[in-house]
Chain A
């Protein structure tokens, strides 16, 4: 098809210009907007394909969605040909409310720790600054830990950012690929020498969050038991998903170093050395018990094999 001599409206400064005759094949729209067609001062948007693209009604409609003070875009009417006015707010409300709800649902511990109203305000501020960059809303809020850390009013809750990281990891684990745990007999059959040169593959649902705050205690108090005592120690937390529900395990000292090495594909001997460097009393049996119970070891191979 051919789009000939269409007029396009530049949303910001109302400059009009004529678009040359265009051959608009499917999937090639982006190629049409080569720079020579762009007027000076026109608003240019990057598409996700990296091409520049000018949009018409969409840009106008989008322009006021995140700014309640912005004027309602022109050209929108009610059923009686009157300016749509407040009716545009339905879309403003829908967009912002859906993003706030997604964040509240995705960060239940943060919501509990802050209280509903504070969370709504935080989520609103976040949504305005970080509109989703993906259509897969189950992963929305990736930058909330950083956003919390940079929010001055929350500086009296320095652990909050790490709790948000933990909640992101819980969600990632929940939706991670399924895997089949290794038969523990395979590990039992290895003699100590063979073990040191064995590399273990860990489940895609395994996650590790290290913190200088007692994040497990804080999370559990918010989610599971309001009377729970919060310990005054740093906690490294392992996320594992033995079935469909991710579970949290607090690691003893050296555990995080061990898991990081194993996950990187290093043989057991090297992982053990890293853990012992951190903690002389590091217990190999305990970490194996924890990983096996969580269904987190899925295969074993000899180093280089």
Chain B
């Protein structure tokens, strides 16, 4: 198995944000407890220009985490070799500290759907996903992190609990896990399970990064509340509480704020960064 820690330093157990170019100047000023940045891999797969220049400058000061949305690891088709090569190229020049992807699929035949679509949890999908992760880890010469999804529905054919499924994938492939606290909260609310029980059942020893982000409320066809993982607003209070609950069990972890749509001014995002810093400080203090 590839040992991430052996080849690459870890992300620091401090606040990070999903990087948006509009915040470049403020982030370069380094006046925030912000300690690392995450980018979507596919946004940096052009040939050059400002996005690359900004990333070269930022990576002088901040460890970078590359978060892929296009590999379609949960897809039924073979992984796209050309896309893996693009990831190799990106990780070669940027030398990110971490690479993560999703337990999801996003391509169908030649078509890319630009969204993370759900996977049934069966022996067949388990075999396929572990084979895909092995292939990616071989190609990138590093352990990757796999993120738990936000769910709006389940598949009748699923035979595994999500936490067991992720644990088995991690055991088989040696990959680490990215635990998205907002996704846990959204899925728990939408599917009617306890978010803290999910955290209790999660293989926390395999976690190397946490995410928090904003969600919105909608309604399903039965008139019940349906939470949508929209990443376009502040983190909600119950998600902050669930973060505290998780950190108390895991100890300090790198925690990322995800705010991808309707991106606010830096001062708003920085307030969330401070809030993460406080949460991390609380658990670092001796009891």
Q: A residues bordering B, Cβ < 8 Å?
A: 1, 3, 6, 24, 26-30, 45-49, 53, 55-59, 61-62, 65, 75-80, 82, 84-88, 90-91, 94-95, 98-99, 102, 131-138, 174-178, 204-205, 241, 244-245
- In contact, B193 and A79 (Cβ under 8 angstroms): yes
Contact A24 B127 (CB under 8 A): yes
In whole Å, how far is A183's beta carbon from the nearest beta carbon of chain B?
A: 21
Chain B residues near A91 (CB-CB < 8 A): 115, 117-118, 152
Residue pair B50, A244 in contact (C-beta under 8 Å) = yes
Instruction: Flag if A49 contacts B108 (CB, 8 Å).
Output: no
Given contacts A47-B77, A78-B222, A132-B111, contact A138 B155 (CB under 8 A): no
Interface residue from B80, B105, B107, B192 paired with A80 (Cβ < 8 Å): B192
Q: Does B157 contact A (CB under 8 A)?
A: yes
Query: Which residues of the other chain, A, contact B120 by a CB distance below 8 angstroms?
Result: 57
Q: For B108, give its contact among A58, A84, A85, A86 (CB under 8 Å).
A: A58
CB of B80 within 8 A of CB of A76, answer no
Interfacial residues of chain B within 1-56, with CB under 8 A of chain A in the complex: 42-43, 45-53
* Distance A241 CA – B52 CA, assembled complex (angstroms): 15
| Interface: B63 (CB within 8 A) | no
Q: Which residues of A contact B112 (CB under 8 A)?
A: 131-135, 137
Q: Contacts A77-B153, A79-B193, A87-B153: A61 and B117 contacting too (C-beta < 8 A)?
A: yes
Asked if B107 contacts A135 (CB within 8 A), the reply is yes
B113 at interface, CB cutoff 8 A: yes
Q: Size of chain B's interface in residues, with CB distance under 8 A? A: 60
Report the bound CA distance from A45 to B110 in whole Å. Answer: 9
Chain A residue numbers with a CB within 8 Å of B228 are 90
Alpha-carbon separation in the docked complex, A59 to B70 (Å): 18
Q: Which residues of B contact A (CB under 8 A)?
A: 42-43, 45-53, 70, 75-81, 83, 86, 105-115, 117-120, 124, 127-128, 131-132, 134-135, 152-157, 190-193, 218, 220-222, 224, 226, 228
Q: Which residue of A lies closest to B191 (CB)?
A: A79
Known interface pairs A24-B131, A47-B77, A75-B156. Does A98 touch B49 (Cβ–Cβ under 8 Å)?
no
Q: Known A61-B117, A176-B47; judge A3-B78 contact (CB<8 A).
A: no
Please determine whether B46 and A175 come into contact, CB atoms closer than 8 angstroms. Answer: yes
Q: Mind listing 7 A-B residue pairs with CB under 8 Å?
A: A28-B78, A47-B77, A75-B155, A79-B154, A84-B152, A133-B110, A175-B49
Residues on the B chain within 8 Å of A176, using CB? 46-49
In the bound complex, residues from chain A placing their C-beta under 8 Å from that of B156 are 75-77
Q: Which of A3, A26, A53, A87 has the most CB of B within 10 A?
A: A87
Distance (whole angstroms) from the CB of B225 to the closest CB of chain A: 12
Q: How far does the alpha carbon of A37 sit from the alpha carbon of B114 in the complex, in Å? A: 32
Q: Are A47 and B79 in contact (CB under 8 A)?
A: no
The answer to whether B50 touches A132, judged by C-beta atoms less than 8 angstroms apart, is no
CB distance from A174 to the nearest CB of B (A): 5
Chain B nearest CB from A99 CB (Å) reads 6
Tell me which residues across on chain A come within 8 A of B105, comparing CB atoms. Answer: 58
